[in-house]
Amino acid sequence: MVVRISESTVRRLSHYYRVLEELDAEGGKVVSSRRLAEREGVTPAQVRKDLSCFGSFGRRGLGYSVAHLRSEIRTILGLDRRWRVAVAGAGHIGSALLAYRGFAEQGFEVVAVFDRDPERIGQRIGTLIVHDIATMPEWSMREGIEIGVIATPAAAAQEVADLMVRSGLRGILNFAPRNLVAPPSVTVRNVDMTLEFESLSFALAAGDGRPVAAGSGRRHRRR
């Protein structure tokens, strides 16, 4: 059987995982598709469909085991292991990423940071020293780095992506606002923070009389 798993589905799995983490912390044992649906503003049927893509986790009328489903989604999302991450670009975005502890908690460990600016090279950010980006290939091989984060200006992003490919990285998370070219063996994800603004403006414009996002669980009448 051939299935296509959309980015939207993966994103919803991440959200279900957040809910399951909370429930687990509160000592919850069982969860319904309705409860999982609430936070993301989708239907319970959508939750069941999403989870059925990966095998059957629940029992009709009984709901899902919190611990089991959490563990399964953790594996599906690749969070059951550590990922070694390098950040290219020690500017504002790179520094913000390095300062954020949530990544390490989910298994994403930033082990190196690179820049090409001689004034930044050698400086300390948190526990890391900024290295010359030209040394990325040798660093990556030695440190077993698999994921690269591009936090450079847009003009430098493709060159850095090429260097990451040559460094043997398997995945690139791109914060620079431009599309990158990479071979099919390297997975690229673009972070577009404008999307979050658009989700907000959608809801605010909707408050002016247009349909409203269901993220809050409210229902709205269509004009």
- The neighbouring-strand residues paired with 124 are 129
SS3 call for 190: strand
Distance between CA atoms of residues 223 and 87, nearest Å: 47
Q: Is 147 in the site for its own copies (CB under 8 A)?
A: yes
User: Which part of the chain contacts its own copies (CB under 8 A), choosing from 115-123, 133-141, 159-167, 198-206?
Assistant: 198-206
Window 44-83: residues binding its own copies (CB under 8 A): 46, 53-54, 75-79, 81, 83
Window 14-43: residues binding its own copies (CB under 8 A): 14, 17-18, 40-43
Among 100, 123, 138, 166, binds its own copies (CB under 8 A): 100
Q: Is 202 in the site for its own copies (CB under 8 A)?
A: yes
Q: Is 218 in the site for its own copies (CB under 8 A)?
A: yes
Distance between CA atoms of residues 168 and 186, nearest Å: 9
Q: Minimum distance between the CB of residue 62 and its own copies, rounded to whole angstroms? A: 25
Distance between CA atoms of residues 188 and 171, nearest Å: 6
Q: Nearer to its own copies by C-beta: 135 or 144? A: 144
The pairs formed by 176-184 with CB atoms below 8 angstroms and a separation of 24 or more are 176/150, 176/151, 176/152, 178/154, 180/150
Q: Minimum distance between the CB of residue 175 and its own copies, rounded to whole angstroms? A: 9
